[in-house]
Amino acid sequence: MNEKSTETLSVIVEREIPYPPEKIWRALTQPHLIEEWLMKTDFKSVVGHRFDLRADWGAVDCQVLAVEPNKTLSYTWEARGLESVVTWTLTPSSTGTHLRMEQSGFQPDQQQAYQGAKYGWQQFFAKLEQVLAQKD
């Protein structure tokens, strides 16, 4: 039985961040900033653009799916047999911005990738908040 299950898992991280969406958007879309909290990249916020994220352990192949400046960013995230989609949603709030990241598409048998992503995104978010705190 090697049919792919339709029941996929998602990793969701949500944070209230005390900065306007425009500032967070820059950190999510400018390669030199992405590099500071995520990985080295040749990202461009253009639908259809293919890019990769490079780390010591290897690379993630990605393609931009959706761009709505200061609101939504979505791209594929493929690495080591994982085919997933990362979607960022920025919503203005009374204290700044509600930032939501969802990585969807984990198969039930991809527990290692799923747990790794759950852990990894917490680290990435912590670094992202540090980057935001440094930059004007």
At 64-105, the pLDDT tens digits run 999 999 999 999 999 989 999 999 999 999 999 999 999 999
Q: What confidence score (pLDDT) does residue 1 get?
A: 47
Q: Which CATH number fits domain 13-134: 3.30.530.20, 3.10.20.30, 3.40.50.720, 1.20.1730.10?
A: 3.30.530.20
Section 11-22 average pLDDT:
97
Provide the whole-model pTM.
0.93
At 47-61, the pLDDT tens digits run 999 999 999 889 999
Name the strands in the sheet holding 96-106, side by side, starting at the edge strand that comes first in the sequence.
Answer: 9-17, 96-106, 82-93, 72-79, 58-68, 50-55, 40-41
At 106-128, the pLDDT tens digits run 999 999 999 999 999 999 999 99
Q: What confidence score (pLDDT) does residue 25 get?
A: 98
Dihedral sign from CA coordinates of 15, 19, 25, 26:
negative
